[in-house]
Amino acid sequence: MSQSILSALVLLPVLGAIFVAVTPRENVRTQKLLAMGMSLVVFGLSLWMLSEFQPISGMQFEVNRSWLPQYGISYHIGVDGLSLWLIILSTFLTPISLLASWNSIDQRVREFNVFMLLLEAGMIGVFVSLDLFLFYIFWEAMLIPMYFLIGIWGHERRIYAAVKFFLYTMAGSVLMLVAFLVLYKATGSTTFDLAALARSPVPPALQMWLFAAFAIAFAIKVPMFPFHTWLPDAHVEAPTAGSVILAGVLLKMGGYGFLRLAIPLFPDAALRFAPWIGVLAVIGIIYGALVSLVQPDMKKLVAYSSVSHLGFVMLGIASFTTTGVVGAVYQMLNHGISTGALFLCVGMLYDRRHTRLISEFGGLKIVMPWFSALFLGICLSSMAVPGFNGFVGEFLILVGSWSFSWRLVALASLGVILAAAYLLWMVQRVLYGEVTNEKNRSLPDLSLREWVVLGPLLALALFMGVASPLFTRSIEPSVNALVLKVESQQRATAAAAARAAEAKPAAAAPSQPVEEGK
């Protein structure tokens, strides 16, 4: 039974989508309930998986069936510490997004629910795939429902944003696809299985190219500066549910792709590129924060803050220390929760006022006290105040990256301060002061539905802030294994370089001293 749990996680949403798709168009309520019911079943199932999960480094709940045996493609899925929480995050955010859109999506409800469920299947599929072909299928297939979510239910410039999102992501992905093919040929492999490919060595020069191709695909998804320009458009134009899933889960796929594919497959190249990734990450942190600071539109502000927050994740990954990478994985979860919640808050204001401009609001604390309290809490979590989840993640990343480069850490810390600045400034202008706009005077406070949407997220943000070991316990073994692999690779490469240098000291006339243990 526990063998088929992952397949069930992927297939149940598809099944649900099919059910929803065949309901008559008018039965809006049935469609909503069906989609919600199925997403809750999936969430429950993922919690059961969590309870069965052992905090060890290997793959669990693994299934490996041949699919296209003559081409070495298999249906190979499994879960480890890197993917465990991201799967839970996906199954958790899906019902929340559905609930958040309960009333605000009133057109083509059936299609909306179908796409949300297909999206969920795609997300889970990406996180469980252990075969490159399978991974790519989910990775690309997921674009289609997201494209529709933005394009149909988005705001004014939705079509532009949807097409831009699709083309950007696809451009990155197809390069990765070619890299798969080259890798397959270069290693003389007979399989697309990830573990098998990671064991077969790739010549260092080729590694650089392949890593670059993978890195572009993932950097677009993260998004890392300078590949981030699709993000503000897509996030701002998407409907609330789309923004939540996009920020909460889809952006994580970039970081996850680095950890699951790019680094294990090309450890040498990953180490060589690490300083560059670190620099770009820090540029992203500062740049995203500065741009957030000047946004008049709340949704845009939150969107750019993602660029900044994801910079921290990439810095942690680039550090290649256990602490840094654990922090990165943890920060991916935090960002999913707090930024998802921020988008939900902005969505709730938008539902009431049909504007997202900060200047339209002010003094909401008086008319919507509960909303203001929760909104403030979520902002605190996003700006990494101690006691909230964000603090744990960013702290681990900064500590872990110290040995990597203290200069970058110092610059990145600026980002923490800037985050406090842009978020608190927004909070101040939106929540505090006098009610300046008469239209705001009669706004209703949180409804029960909105409580159910926001409450769990804030609770989780607090819980993850104080009980982080519960989470990192299951992340750490897998991260450790990854870091060890990179380190051993590093030593092997250094040793090989040293041998090569010793072998021909005469040829390279005034021989340089051997580079110390790099």
Partner 1 sequence: MTSLDLRPLLPALMVAITGLVVLLAHAFTPKDRRAPSAGLSLTGLLAASGATLLIMQGNGRGASVGGSYAADDFALFLHLVILGLGAVLVLLSPSYLRATRADRGEYYALLLFSIVGMLGLVSCRELISLFVALEIMSVSLYAMAGLDRERQESQESALKYFITGAFSSGFFLYGVALLYGVSGSTSLGQIALRLPGASDSAQALALVGTALLLVGFGFKVASVPFHMWAPDVYQGAPTTVTAFMAAGVKAAAFGAFLRVLLSGLPSLASHWQPALAALALLTMIVGNLGALAQSNLKRMLAYSSVAHAGYLMTALTASPGPGVEAILFYLVAYGAVNLGAFGILSSLARDNREPLSLGDVAGLGARRPAVAAALTVFLISLTGVPVSAGFVGKFYLFRAAVDAGYLSLALAGVLMSVVSAYYYLRVVVFMYMREAEDAPAWAPVSLWAGAGLVVAVAAILGLGVYPGPVLEAARLAAQALR
Angle at 180 between CA 175 and CA 183, to 5 degrees: 120
Q: Is 141 in the site for partner 1 (CB under 8 A)?
A: yes
Residue among 41, 170, 198, 283 that touches partner 1 (CB under 8 A): 170
Distance CA 388, CA 396 (A): 13
Stretch that binds partner 1, among 150-158, 196-204, 276-284, 459-467 (CB under 8 A): 150-158
Minimum separation from the CB atom of position 369 to partner 1 (A): 39
- Residue closer to partner 1 by CB (options 85, 184) is 184
Which of 41, 45, 64, 140 binds partner 1 (CB under 8 A)? It is 140
> Is 206 near partner 1 (CB under 8 A)?
no
For the purposes of burial, counting CB atoms within 10 Å of the CB of 282, is it exposed (0-12), middle (13-18) or buried (19 or more)?
Answer: buried
Does 148 help bind partner 1 (rule: CB under 8 A)? yes
Residue type, 135: F
Interface with partner 1 by CB under 8 A: which range of 5-13, 135-143, 234-242, 407-415?
135-143
Per CB under 8 A, the list member of 33, 47, 56, 159 interacting with partner 1 is 159
185 touching partner 1, by CB under 8 A = yes
Let me know if 206 is exposed, middle or buried by CB neighbors in 10 A (0-12, 13-18, 19+).
middle
Measured CA distances, 78 to 2, 466, 475, 518 (Å):
11, 29, 15, 34
Q: Which listed range, 69-77, 225-233, 270-278, 368-376, lies at the site for partner 1 (CB under 8 A)?
A: 69-77
Q: Is 73 left (phi over 0), alpha (psi -120 to 50) or beta?
A: beta
Give me the DSSP letters along 429-456: HHHSS----GGGTT-----HHHHHHHHH
Applying CB under 8 A, among 8, 45, 175, 198 the residue interacting with partner 1 is: 175
Instruction: With beta carbons less than 8 A apart as the criterion, state whether 82 and 329 touch.
Output: yes
181: contact with partner 1 by CB under 8 A:
yes
Considering beta carbons, is residue 165 or 225 the nearer one to partner 1?
165
177 makes contact with partner 1 (CB under 8 A): yes
Cβ(221)–Cβ(48) below 8 Å = no
Which residue, 241, 274, 25, is CA-closest to 120? 241
Residue 50 contacts residue 90 (beta carbons within 8 Å): no
Task: Report, in Å, the least distance between residue 500 CB and partner 1.
Answer: 28
User: Near partner 1 by CB under 8 A, which window of 165-173, 214-222, 230-238, 430-438?
Assistant: 165-173
Residue 464 in tokens? 């993850």
Q: Which of 133, 225, 227, 404 binds partner 1 (CB under 8 A)?
A: 133
* Whole-angstrom distance, CA of residue 400 vs CA of residue 403: 7
Position among 136, 266, 361, 388 found at the interface with partner 1 (CB under 8 A): 136
**Which residues in 18-57 contact partner 1 (CB under 8 A)?**
25
174 binding partner 1? (CB under 8 A): yes
Q: Binding of partner 1 at residue 155 (CB under 8 A)?
A: no
Q: How far, in Å, CA of 219 to CA of 517, rounded?
A: 30
Which member of 77, 90, 105, 111 binds partner 1 (CB under 8 A)?
A: 111
Cis peptide before 477 (omega within 30 of 0): no
Which of 3, 54, 70, 512 lies at the binding interface for partner 1 (CB under 8 A)? 70
Nearest to 472 by CA among 395, 370, 382: 395
> Rule CB under 8 A: which residues touch partner 1?
25, 67-71, 108, 111, 133, 136-138, 140-141, 143-144, 147-148, 151-152, 158-159, 162-163, 166-167, 170-171, 174-175, 177-178, 181-182, 184-185
